[in-house]
Amino acid sequence: MSSTIVSLPDQSTARIPKTNFLTKENGLLSWLLTGDHKRIAILYLISITFFFFIGGALAGLIRLELLTPQSDLMATDTYNKVFTMHGVIMIFLFLVPSVPATLGNFLIPMMLGAKDLALPKINLLSWYLYVVGGCLVIYTMVAGGVDTGWTFTTPLSTHYVNTNVMSTGMAVFIAGFSSIFTGLNFIVTIHKMRCPGMTWFRMPLFVWAHYAASILMVLGTPVLAITIVLMALERTVGIGVFDPTKGGDPLLFQHLFWFYSHPAVYIMILPGMGVISETISTFSRKRVFGYTAVAFSSVAIAIFGFFVWAHHMFIMGISNYAVLVFSLLTMLVAVPSAIKIFNWAFTLYKGSITFETPMLYSFGFMGLFTIGGMTGVFLGASGTDIHLTETYFIVAHFHFVMVGGMLMAFLAGIHFWWPKMTGRMYPEKISQMAAVITFVGFNLTFFPQFILGTLGMPRRYAAYPPEFQVLNVFSTAGATILGVGYLMPVLYLTWSLKYGAIAGNNPWQATGLEWQTQSPPLTENFTRIPIMDHEAYDYEWLEQQQAKEVASVG
């Protein structure tokens, strides 16, 4: 436990390599017109961080309002707008692109031994689409916000609200295409750009997870696009597909919307699981237990994930038989998720575990995601769902999965690959502290909400009965701690850009191809195309490689 695997080069002589993707070209245009997947990843990282903090500020406002039972900080209408914008920003502008568009973009070509993604221009286009979508969201906020909830539920969104539904819808539509193009690019790259010797079962599990998530993006997002188009037409021209007075069925909107938006949950979590596979293996110095099972469980989640969407609609009046079927299918998704958790646990077993920051976040992920996933099973069972849905139990459940799961994984990944992206280490002690603060703050924020939910506090209201106040105060206090936990990485990571220790090629002694080249990498990633002659996570190969290097230098 006291030991560490970090091995940095001698700081007195080490320098960041002069030629790398950051220094190759200068000037704003060289960034805005770049085709380099690594630069696009950095652009994405900056933009999603920006939106994360806007969404986070809105979350702060929500918690502040809920400090007291009355709606006193803001009007109830404003509260509706605030939680809607929080949802739209966090889901479409942060969680969906978070790991794939930043870490995935940066690492997939490198892990596969390729020079770039298959379609660099499409990759850049997808970033621009994201920015346009983001600008529309900002416009929406400036123009007065929208209060439909992020789900655009009809007929509320089409008939009853008089806020900026159209601009938000357009933002989601455009951001959706950004995610389609990212997914498409990943699938093509994974199929066609692998280096010699990189067979499917030698790919890092990070790539497998992204492959599964990309399938979901490509197959699911277009359905969201057409749903948004129909919703917009319903609102502007009054076409009637979702309007009961004209014979339409509002539930059809729900079907089409959740056909995307449930798989979207897996779009968000699968890449996070990919990160965890990498960190768990590296920091326990062991090959991931049951590599094949973990790889296939990603694909299984992708496939099962498509056929469970109606569990969002149990109380909406779908047929009882459909409830039965979808409830059963929902339980099935728990199986591949559990396979992953068990396999990670077995990877830890008898491993030489060290507790660097990425590993702390990964432990956070495993614990919180398990709680989030298990409560998902409660909600998948239609009986308990009828009691718990539309209460804070749901809110706590998906925040455990999305924030406790995905955001922890995102932070684990950012810390883990930070030395690769920038060439410099982040400060270890303070970041470990940030990880612990985040974990504590998270639990204090969201665990009380499980209790509030079971007690029956409904979600989406600015006011609540006074007897719920104690737990809400806990929750708000936790949110404050959580906010500190998220601000710290921004500060010390920025600091490390100039003052961090020089990381060298492979500070973690990790096995992926991305670690076998300089950091930050060259624009072409490798001086020559690597040949993959060993299995993934083969630490003996790495040792031999290093022994050879030492011998040749000596």
Partner 1 sequence: MSDSSAIAQGAVAEAGTPHGEHPPYQRHHFESMDQQADATNFAMWLFLVTEVMFFGGMFTAYLIYRNWYYPAFVSASHQLSIVWGTTNTAVLITSSFTMAMGVWCAETRRKSGLVLSLVLTLLLGLVFLGIKSIEYHEKWEKHHVPGLHYSMEAFLNPASDPAVFKEYHDKPMALDMARHTELYFFLYFAMTGMHALHMIVGMAILIYIIFRARAGAYTSGHVTFVENFGLYWHFVDIIWIFLYPLLYLISRHQ
Partner 2 sequence: MSDLKEIEEAQHHVVSPKIYAIIAIALLVLTATTAGVSYLELGEFNAVVALAIAVFKAMLVVLFFMHVKYSTKLTKFTVVAAIFMLMGLISMTMADYMSRAWGRW
Under the rule (CB under 8 A), what is the footprint of partner 1? Answer: 9, 17-19, 114-120, 122, 180, 184-185, 187-189, 191-193, 218-223, 225-227, 230, 233, 237-241, 246-249, 252, 255-256, 504-506, 517-518, 522-524, 527-529, 549, 552-553
List the one residue from 205, 310, 341, 412 that touches partner 2 (CB under 8 A): 310
CA gap 224, 247 in Å, rounded: 22
Residue 502 binds partner 2, judged by CB under 8 A: no
Q: Other C-beta atoms within 10 Å of 18: how many?
A: 6
Q: Applying CB under 8 A, does 531 fall inside the site for partner 2?
A: no
- Closer CB to partner 1, 176 or 380, in the complex: 176
318 binds, among partner 2, partner 1, none (CB under 5 to 8 A by kind): partner 2
| Cβ closest to partner 1, residue 59 vs residue 265 | 265
Q: What is the DSSP string of 120-187?
A: HHHHHHHHHHHHHHHHHHHHHHHTT---STTTT-TTIIIII--SSHHHHHHHHHHHHHHHHHHHHHHH
> What residues from 373 to 402 belong to the interface with partner 2 (CB under 8 A)?
none
Q: Choose, by CB under 8 A, the member of 67, 74, 166, 252 that binds partner 2.
A: 252
Long-range contacts formed by 143-147: CB under 8 A, 24+ apart: 143/167, 144/81, 145/78, 145/81, 145/82, 145/84, 145/85, 146/81, 146/84, 146/85, 146/88, 147/77, 147/80, 147/81, 147/84
C-alpha dist (Å) from residue 400 to 333, 480, 553: 17, 17, 49
| Residue 189, both tokens | 């790259």
Nearer to partner 2, 14 or 328 (CB): 328
Residue with Cβ nearer partner 2 (326 or 486): 326
Q: Which of 358, 491, 503 is nearest to 424 (CA)?
A: 503
Compute the least distance from the CB of residue 121 to partner 2, in Å: 22
For residue 76, the partner it binds in partner 1, partner 2, none, with Cβ less than 5 to 8 A by kind, is: none
Residues numbered 20 to 59 that lie near partner 2 (CB under 8 A) are none
Residue 170 CB, shortest distance to partner 1, in Å, is: 16
Distance CA 211, CA 189 (A): 10
Could you say which of partner 2, partner 1, none residue 524 binds, taking C-beta under 5 to 8 angstroms by partner kind? partner 1
Which of partner 1, partner 2, none does 115 bind, CB closer than 5 to 8 A by kind? partner 1
How far, in Å, CA of 465 to CA of 83, rounded?
19
**10: its two tokens:** 């001698």
Measured CA to CA in angstroms, residue 86 lies from 34, 48, 98, 206 at distances of 31, 14, 16, 28
Choose one: 74-82, 249-257, 369-377, 523-531; the region binding partner 2 (CB under 8 A): 249-257
Place of tokens 């079927």: 325
Least separation in angstroms between residue 17's CB and partner 1 is 6
162 or 319: CB nearest partner 2: 319
- In the numeric block, which tokens belong to residue 453? 């939910």
| Residue 229 lies near partner 2 (rule: CB under 8 A) | no
In whole angstroms, the minimum distance from the beta carbon of 536 to partner 2 comes to 21
- Which of partner 1, partner 2, none does residue 528 bind to, with CB < 5 to 8 Å depending on kind? partner 1
In this complex, which beta carbon is closest to partner 2, that of residue 275 or of residue 323? Answer: 323
- Give yes or no for residue 322 binding partner 2 (CB under 8 A): yes
Spell out the residues 6+ positions from residue 220 whose beta carbon is closer than 8 angstroms to its own: 259, 260, 263, 264, 267, 306
Nearest to 41 by CA among 182, 153, 196: 182
User: CB of 451: closest distance to partner 2 in angstroms?
Assistant: 33
Token duo for residue 63: 């918690």
Least Å distance between CB 86 and partner 1? 27
Residue 155: asked if its preceding bond is cis (omega within 30°), the reply is: yes
Residue 319 site contact among partner 1, partner 2, none (CB < 5 to 8 Å, cut-off depends on kind): partner 2
CB of 318 to partner 2, least distance (A): 5
Q: Distance between CA atoms of 405 and 209, rounded to whole angstroms? A: 15
186 binds partner 2 (CB under 8 A): no
Per-residue b or e along 431-442, where b marks 16 or more CB atoms closer than 10 Å to that residue's CB: bbbbbebbbebb
Of residues 307 and 342, the one with the C-beta less far from partner 2: 307
Point out which span in 85-93, 253-261, 525-533, 546-554 binds partner 2 (CB under 8 A): 253-261
Q: Which string of b and e fits 277-304 if b means at least 16 CB within 10 Å?
A: bbbbbbbbbbbbbbbeebbebbbbbbeb
| Residue 191: CB minimum distance to partner 2, A | 6
Contact footprint for partner 2 (CB under 8 A)? 191, 219, 223, 251-252, 255-256, 259, 306-307, 309-310, 318-322, 325
